[in-house]
A and B are shown apart, each in its own frame.
Chain A
Amino acid sequence: MDAPAAIAARDLGRRFAGRWAVRGVTLEIPASQMVMIHGPNGSGKTTLLRVLSSAISPSQGEVRVHGVPAVEARRRIALLSHADGHYDELSGRDNLALAKELGKMPGSVDGVLDAVGLASRADDPVRAYSAGMRKRLAFARLLLKEADVVCLDEPYAALDPEGHALVDDVLRQLRARGATVLVSTHQVRRVAGLVDHAIRLENGHVAAQVPAAQVSPAALAAAPAGGDA
């Protein structure tokens, strides 16, 4: 029997205040695939990632991760979202130590702090961090979890060029260890060489799916609706 898909969504929809942010999305992403989600502002990328990672529940449809409902598979899922989830008054190290102990995360706090370049500021309170440093700390927590399904929402946002290189490196690491990755970004050219295929969202619907060889801003814009991955 085939192993279940890493992420399987069926007729997925999420409504906010009576308006559908995402509707009728059906996806099946095999394990170890890296998929880019692309689309204009307001197309539903963030909502889709949040529903797929079980951060919010769907208004319709269901999400299964490795064959079980996403909520029950939270230990295997990591989400990097716009809200970084840190406590301002605690230090970067305290925030990570809390995550490690509460989530029984396997990584090393010092190791991930070093990997994201925050080792020298690890004991400062997070309220003293810049937006880019907060993002790096969010990446550190993501690495700490060593999840096998990873959802990244605009990972390049708020980062300097060094930070962009860090994200590239993290994406390569995730790929090397066989994680299933969904990455929402406007940096199509930057990510194109790493992903297996791309999905274009428009008005909360999957407008197109483009295979790796054709991933480019132009191809994504021109791809016919329902194109094969």
Chain B
Amino acid sequence: MEIASQCLLVLQKELRHLWRARARATATATFALACLFLFSFAGGLDGDTLRDNAAGYLWVGLLLASTLALGESFRVETEHGALEALLLFPVHPVALFLGKALGNMLTLLAVGLAMVPFAVALFDAAPREGVPTLAACVLSGSAAIAAPGTMHSALASRARARDVLLPLLLFPLVLPCVVAATQATRLAITGDPMNQLGSWLSVTVAFAIVHWSLGALLFPLVVED
């Protein structure tokens, strides 16, 4: 019970901090949109190709932007020793992980949803399966990236080359969920005549469940010096 209430307080702190430092959050979203814009040039002029690849562009853009958001999430904890202070309050490390991971998930979700209208405009990618289905794809993918992202952001925060280390650790790990989220999103955009979308979404959700559980289990080992 105490873990749940501490988790909510940490989440509240994350959201308040995000709002107060909204210039950084805006920069992350702008970076993600800039990625989409660049992909629209790199993808050529064929409208069908752009539309087919829109899901991939969206997820690669979100994954690249996630390293900024996730890195920032632990920079504020280590800059003035706030993480150490939290542990001495004491905050249970599991509550800390869940609160921070939820905060990161909501950030990625917000950035992902902000990317959707731009993707629709740039790639003619209006979702045939409906906006709620596309939103569900973004939500499950964000949850699947947020948990290992929070974990590895904490790991990398102790290293000197943390900005480089985080993507090096994170990208190979989240590859399966990015593939599954991309497939689910592609089907949400182009249509799902064979009813495969649910399967890809299940893979993303399963990946998220495994990594949220692993994170809660291993995070205390990462943050306790």
A residues neighboring B (CB under 8 Å):
53-57, 71, 74-75, 77-79, 81-90, 94, 98-99, 101-103, 105, 125, 141, 145
Contact = CB atoms under 8 A, between A and B. Distances in A.
Given A74-B90, A101-B9, A84 B81 contact: yes
A57 B225 contact: yes
B6 A88 contact: no
Contacts of B17: 87, 89-90
B49 to A, nearest CB: 43
Contact of A85 (B10, B20, B81, B224): B81
Given A98-B9, A98-B13, A102-B9, A88 B88 contact: no
A98 B76 CA distance: 15
Interface of B: 6, 9-10, 13, 16-17, 20-21, 76, 79-82, 84-91, 224-225
11 contacts: A55-B88, A55-B225, A81-B84, A82-B81, A84-B81, A85-B84, A86-B82, A87-B13, A98-B9, A102-B86, A103-B89
Contacts of B85: 83-86, 99, 141
Given A54-B88, A102-B10, A103-B90, A89 B81 contact: no
A35 B224 CA distance: 27
B20 A55 contact: no
A80 to B, nearest CB: 10
A220 to B, nearest CB: 29
Contacts of A57: 224-225
Contacts of A125: 20
Most buried by A among B21, B88, B224: B88
A195 B8 CA distance: 41
A69 B88 CA distance: 14
Contacts of A75: 90
Nearest to B95: A102
Nearest to A71: B224
A93 to B, nearest CB: 12
A101 to B, nearest CB: 5
Given A56-B225, A90-B20, A102 B91 contact: yes
A58 to B, nearest CB: 10
B107 to A, nearest CB: 15
A138 B91 CA distance: 17
B81 A81 contact: yes
A87 B14 CA distance: 11
Given A56-B225, A74-B88, A90-B13, 19 more contacts: A55-B225, A77-B88, A78-B88, A79-B88, A81-B81, A84-B81, A85-B80, A85-B82, A86-B80, A86-B82, A87-B80, A87-B82, A88-B76, A88-B79, A90-B17, A102-B91, A103-B90, A103-B91, A105-B89
B3 to A, nearest CB: 12
Contacts of B20: 89-90, 125
B193 to A, nearest CB: 49
B90 A83 contact: no
A101 B6 CA distance: 8
Contacts of A55: 84, 87-88, 225
Contact of B84 (A83, A99, A101): A83
